[in-house]
Structure 1
Amino acid sequence: MSIQEESVRDTSVRSGGPQEPTPGLIPLTDPSGEASGGALQDLVVLDLTRILSGPFATMTLADLGADVIKIEQPGQGDDTRQWGPPFQGEEAAYFLSVNRNKRSLAVDLKSAEGLAAVRQLALKADVLVENFRPGTAARLGLGYEDLSTENPGLVYASISGYGQTGPDAARAGYDAIAQARSGIMSVTGEAGGPPVRVGVSSADLVAGMWATIGILAALHEKKRTGRGQWVDISLLDGSVSWLTYVSSGYFASGETPQRYGSAHPTIAPYQAFATADGFVMVAVGNDGLWRRLTTALNREELAVDERFASNPSRVAHRNILIPLLEEIMLTRRTDEWVQALDLAGVPVGPIQTVDQALIDPQVIARGMVAELEHPTVGALKMVGCPVRLTRTPASIRTAPPLLGQHTDDILSGLGFSTNRIASLREAGAVQ
């Protein structure tokens, strides 16, 4: 149900790894030998979002095949187009990271004609995603109640800081504030140190993921009823949902969870250790793994020490156990420990920097680094889509769009004449 078919199948996508088909990035074929489309190829998604949470959700839908039309302000576009350095050519790396596989329609929502065009798109769309402050879309005539009257099958997703209800619904939302209020920051950081923000914008990203899940659930329900519904996602809700076992521990004990750095509050040893040349993460999740670790360390006596024989006792005596292990781990290099613990069957991994992670052989083999051609940047590398479907794989088909790159195509698909589009552009309503 693409509003207008476009040459989006030209995909100069190259896997960052071996030149063999990689599920999820290189289109697979069905038993008939025909290239299979994405799982969501019949969906039109109107994207009224900007920054990170919404664009991450709509990019995921686009990777899965949806026709995503991104609405941007003429002359400016998504705020993240200016979020640099770093830039690649004239494009901000931040914008490029979450806007592939989309078409850009640059239209001024303050213009009556521009707003009317967007509303026309909304009445044809299967999904609309917005991350305005609550009430803003409704004031523009693009709220759920208004649009669903004429498009009852519309799945409408709103992402906001605090949701559409509650005493703080009208407040602006920011990732760092959601991390702070949700309790996530309170359990992040070294013991005895200050609370720390997660190194990526976790509140934004988890909200985008929950929005995607909510949209897919609503689309599934629509098959039974023919009716869409409103998906209400907040940054704060999403971050609170991540508390899972941390919150259960509090409910069970009444004790406020603390910071443990890289360690785990209820498992030991389960943390990072410094080595002779770096850091390694060791995850001993049960007593059998503990015995394997002591053998690999040539310290079998620790396995039968009553202070360390069971996980509860190791947790209770972690202040004694961890310094012992820290001293041992400093005696060998990271690669030596990884090899030794792997051989012993103990879960282990090097703590890699971002540049190291992006050339990790497993990351490359899974197609999680892709490369495609951008019209002004040239060769553009980006992180791939982690969803693996055997018949309808996710794919990276087109580069993040230039501002207004598809304005004419999209408006033509709505029935706008060339003269009318030119008139709108001359008036500044579109770009």
Structure 2
Amino acid sequence: MSAPLAGVRVLDLGHHVAGPLTALLLADQGADVVRVARPGAAAADPFLDRGKRRVELDLKAPDGLAAARALAAEADVLVENFRPGVTDRLGLGWAQLRAANRGLVYCAIPGFGAADPRAGVQGWEGVIAAATGNCRPRAGNAPPGWDPDRPTYTAVPVASNFAAFCSAVAIVAALTERHRTGLGDRLEISLYAAMFEAIGGSGAYPVATGLPPERAISTLGSGCYRCADGRYVQFNPIGATNRFLRWFLDAAGVGHWIGEGLADRARSAADPGPLRARLTGLFASRPAAEWEELAATAGTPLAAVRTTVEWMGSEQAVADRQAVSVIDPIRGPLTVPGAAVVFDGTPDPTGRAAPAAAADPGEVLAGWRRPTGEQVRAGTPAPPAADTADGPYAGLRVLDLTQILAGPSAGRVLAEFGADVTKINVPQRRIGAHGVVNRGKRTMLLDVTSEAGEQVLWQLIEQSDVVTHNLPAGTAQRYGLSHEQLTSRRPELVHVSVSCYGGSGPWAGRRGYETQGQAATGLAERTGGTHGPAVLGPYNVLDYGTGMLAAFAVALGVYRRAGTGRGGAGHVSLTRTGVYHQARYAVSTAPGDEPRGPEALGLRPGHRFHRASDRWLFVAATPGQEDRLTALLGTGPDGRPGTFGGRTATDWVRLLGESGVAAHEVVGLAELMTDPRARGQGLSITQISEEVGEVVMPGPVVRAERIPVGPGPAARRPGADGRDVLTAAGLADRISELERSWVVQLDALPTGWAHF
């Protein structure tokens, strides 16, 4: 089967991380990507430039600009991540290019969006982290005696990575819409906006109660434990019931704890101390690897804490092609991350090295030139151009069988682009974050484990274009929902599955959550530093990042089907996302000078968090700007540079901005969700819940000129659309029977805002 993006031509004007990573996600799915570099720039990056071609152009010189404009005239996609207005001044803006190429999909990825009053501020990671509250330890993961007002810095480029994930989805959606209209679009996904995708349910709350305090996950003994060999495991037997804990205790030979009431959820929530003390002693009795194997056999979510290097060399990472080998033309043999999304036809990244030298722009252009009259380079011929867009996924029927956060987030993103998404949940269960992750969907409670429920499920599948699930490999096989079973029965179906550890390899059937993904891939080891493992940051960067990559997988399948009529199967996992968040450190020649641990404040004195008189701020001076800091701060009596303590953070941000130095005060989450700048850009929205009234939550992060992208209606109570879904499936005459036999739950519905 052909690669999903075969024939798509991408001009990569990106720099740093966000732009090049977006283009890499496209290149890994078969797109022909040409990276534009400055003459004399550093050699190609072994990861970000993998599988791309490279040309060197001086965009400020007439001949370099002319060559770039000629390539843009033949491209399907252009990616850039300059500040707003820079490409316009260069002569490479959307308005300047679309006249010559009406099918161009133009993706801008600035730090702050063009409509943001901070548009001129350089969007360094620390600046965006301060602006979005992504600079504090996860609840329950701070060292003893930690000052909650103190920020912490991570070298993981969370905002850039999320911006790339979101941009890849939006680009492929725009290419799909181009099949219908023949027209491209201008997309904008700022780093600031993309962080609202990472925030997710953490930023959602009923107005009547306000944003609740962050709570550590400690129910049923969840947490990090030291083992007999001095290593750690991350243990999370959470879920709708206490079954994972019971399975684990039985397998560990301490099943009698259950009779003592230690597996009681309510008791554990009220007083987690006794169970945690017993588990601390239990885990100290065996090495981490033994606990990992025991938990895997028992079916309980648990992972030993590894370094990133250890994960990249693990049997699972290699077997699932999360780690692949390449021969870099400059550095020699390397291990680098594999593709972020595995889809039918995704090229094997093994051997897809970065280019050794720059290509001749004229030769690239000659190969890119379109035949006269051709409207769209890849896919089916476009109809006459239309002036309006209904949305790339209008009429697309998605059946969402996923649970928790990652999978449901993918369905919510597809609904934002116009898809008709039906969400299936299990009856009689609490559904966390429903009001956020299931916004814009129809909702139904169906017991698919029963024979009658399975019949209903297949009736729904037969009427769907896309199916998503996050069942473990063996469970999916039993339900007939494996890749092979679905594809053989419905070859036109697009099917995407989500897992913790990957769709193949010895760990494919293991269960895990955000914390297991972080532990296995090195994020927890990196974050904790010398204090022992800790979960990275306040937001679920693996769950929501994987959700966006799952949406990308669906988008790839839908795009290819528009050109071929055939669907296909894709897979994403939390550990793949974890590797991508740490991609710089997952390459086998990774740098070792990274600031680590909760005490880290930044990269150097001029690029770090500082304390002002009222709050902290992040200052992002480049090495060439540090004399400006000296001029602003002055020197003290001892001859040392002055401090930021004499003024407020707001004053410093203004003064630094006037001197050309990027800075931002640290903004808390509650403040962020009510910030007029976030509200004005639709990144923090208000809806009316039928259960709890007015609610606040993050809104869609993609801005497009033509494609309508919107949040959709507020989520209804779980299961509230059951009768309508059954009727639409032709099962209206069976509704009473299905309800009586407990196959569907249509009344006495659970709450969608259970965590408030």
| Interval of TM-score (by shorter of Structure 1 and Structure 2) | 0.7 to 0.9
Q: Classify the secondary structure of the residue corresponding to 1:241.
A: helix
| Correspondent of 2:46 among 93, 96, 99 | 96
Which residue is 1:283 aligned to? Answer: 236
**Counterpart Cα distance in 2 of 1:250 and 1:313:** 27
2:176 equivalent among 197, 200, 220: 220
Q: Any idea what SS the aligned residue of 2:152 has?
A: coil
Using the TM superposition, name which of 295-304 and 328-337 deviates more: 295-304
Q: What residue identity is the alignment partner of 2:166? A: W
Matched residue type, 1:231: L
Residue 342 of structure 2 aligns to a residue whose secondary structure is coil
Give the Cα separation in 2 of the matches to 1:235 and 1:205: 9
CA gap 1:414/1:225 in 2 versus in 1, 3 angstroms: closer
Q: CA deviation at 1:244?
A: 1.9
Output the amino acid matched with 1:342. Answer: A
Partner amino acid for 2:184? G
Q: TM-score, normalised by structure 1?
A: 0.76
For 1:255 and 1:392, how far apart are their aligned partners in 2? 42
1:128 to partner: Cα distance: 0.3
Report if the CA contact (8 A) 1:387-1:394 is conserved. no
Shift of 1:406: 4.2
2:61 is matched with which residue? 111
> CA separation in 1, counterparts of 2:110 and 2:18?
9
d(CA) in 2 for partners of 1:272, 1:140: 52
Structure 1 position 412, deviation (Å) = 5.4
The DSSP-based 3-state class of the residue aligned with 1:96 is coil
C-alpha contact (below 8 Å) 2:11/2:72 kept by paired residues: yes
What is the DSSP-based 3-state SS (H/G/I as helix, E as strand, rest coil) of the residue aligned with 1:152?
coil
Matched residues in 1 for 2:366 and 2:238: separation? 59
Which shows bigger deviation, 182-191 or 332-341?
182-191
Identify if the C-alpha distance between structure 1 residues 256 and 329 changes in structure 2 by more than 3 Å, giving closer, same or farther. same
Question: What is the aligned counterpart of 1:171 among 94, 113, 121?
Answer: 121
Distance 1:129 1:215, change over 3 A: same
Report the counterpart of residue 204 of structure 1 in structure 2: 160
- Secondary structure of the corresponding residue to residue 243 of structure 1: helix
Distance change (3 Å), C-alpha of 1:141 and 1:268: farther
**Pick aligned residue for 2:191 from 218, 225, 235:** 235
Q: How far off its partner does 1:190 sit? A: 1.8
Cα RMSD, aligned residues only: 2.6
Counterpart in the other structure of 2:86: 136
SS in 1 for 2:293: helix
Corresponding letter in the other structure for 2:38:
Q
Matches within 5 A, 1:12-161: 30=1, 36=2, 38-76=3-41, 81=42, 95-161=45-111
Structure 1 Cα separation of the partners of residues 307 and 69 of structure 2: 45
CA distance in 2, matches of 1:367, 1:51: 25
* Paired letter, 1:367: R
- Cα offsets for 1:163-205 (capped at 9, x unmatched): 2212212211012222332223335352653543445211111
How far the C-alpha of 1:390 sits from its partner, in A, is: 2.2
Q: Which runs of 4+ in 1 moved over 6 A?
A: none
Comparing 127-136 and 359-368, the one that deviates more: 359-368
CA distance in structure 2 between the partners assigned to 1:253 and 1:195 by the alignment: 26
1:295 equivalent to 2:256? Answer: no
Tell me which amino acid in the other structure corresponds to 1:254: G
Give the one of 269, 272, 285 matched to 2:224. 272
TM-score (norm: length of structure 2): 0.45
Deviations for 1:321-371, whole angstroms, at most 9, x for unmatched residues? 323322321122112212322232222111111221012111111122222
The DSSP-based 3-state class of the residue aligned with 1:168 is: coil
Maintained 8 Å contact 2:83/2:112: no
State the identity %. Answer: 31
Give me the whole-angstrom Cα distance separating, in 2, the residues matched to 1:342 and 1:398.
34
Alignment of 1:335-354 (within 5 A): 335-354=289-308
For the 8 Å contact 1:101–1:396, the answer to whether it is kept is: no
Q: Measure the CA separation in 2 of the matches of 1:71 and 1:135.
A: 19
Partner Cα distance (2:209, 2:283) in 1? 33
Aligned counterpart, 2:364: 410
Secondary structure class of the residue paired with 1:105: strand
Please report how far the alpha carbon of residue 320 of structure 1 lies from its aligned counterpart in structure 2 after TM superposition: 4.3
Distance 1:185 1:291, change over 3 A: same
Quote how far apart the aligned CAs of 1:309 are: 0.7
Unaligned runs of 5+ in 1: 1-29, 31-35, 82-90, 416-431
Give the Å deviation of 1:249: 5.8
Tell me whether 1:371 sits opposite 2:320 in the alignment. no
Select which of 273, 278, 297 maps to 1:324: 278
SS in 2 for 1:352: coil
Secondary structure of the 2:313 match is: coil
Shift of 1:259: 7.2
Distance 2:331 2:233 in 1: 37
Deviation for aligned residue 1:389: 1.9
Residue 46 of structure 2 contacts residue 328 of structure 2 at CA under 8 Å; is this kept in 1? no
Give the 3-state SS of the residue equivalent to 2:99 in structure 1: helix
Q: Distance in 2 between matches of 1:199 and 1:117?
A: 36
CA 1:166 to 1:196, structure 2 compared with 1: closer, same or farther past 3 Å? same
Contact 1:187 1:259 in 2 (8 A): no
Does the C-alpha gap of structure 1 residues 257 and 201 become closer, same or farther in structure 2, counting only changes over 3 Å?
farther
**Cα 1:47–1:362 shift into 2, 3 Å:** same
Tell me which residue corresponds to 2:405. Answer: none
Name the SS for the 2:12 alignment partner: strand
Amino acid at match of 2:159: A
Question: What is the alpha-carbon distance in structure 1 between the residues aligned to residue 98 and residue 209 of structure 2?
Answer: 46
Q: Would you say the 8 A contact 1:65–1:395 is kept in 2? A: no
Greater relative contact order (Cα < 8 A, sep 6+): 1
Deviations 1:90-114 (A, max 9, x none): x58xx21211111111011110121
Q: Are 1:245 and 2:185 matched, yes or no?
A: no
- Once residues 280 and 250 of structure 1 are traced to their aligned partners in structure 2, the CA distance between those partners, rounded to angstroms, is 35
Query: What displacement does 1:405 show?
Result: 3.9
- The alignment partner of 2:136 has SS state of helix
Task: Report the 3-state secondary structure (helix = DSSP H, G, I; strand = E; otherwise coil) of the residue aligned with 2:310.
Answer: helix
Q: 1:249 to 1:187 in 2, by over 3 A?
A: farther
The residue number in structure 2 matching 1:388 is 342
State the secondary structure of the residue aligned to 1:55. Answer: helix
Going from structure 1 to structure 2, the CA distance change for 1:259 and 1:96 (only over 3 Å counts) comes to farther
- What SS does structure 2 have at the residue aligned with 1:230? strand
Which residue does the alignment assign to 1:13? none
How many pairs align?
360
**Which structure 2 segments of 5+ residues have no match?**
370-756
> Displacement, 1:250?
7.8
- Deviation readout 1:251-310 (Å, 9 max, x if unpaired): 6853454474xxx37x44332211112011112123111222333444445435557511
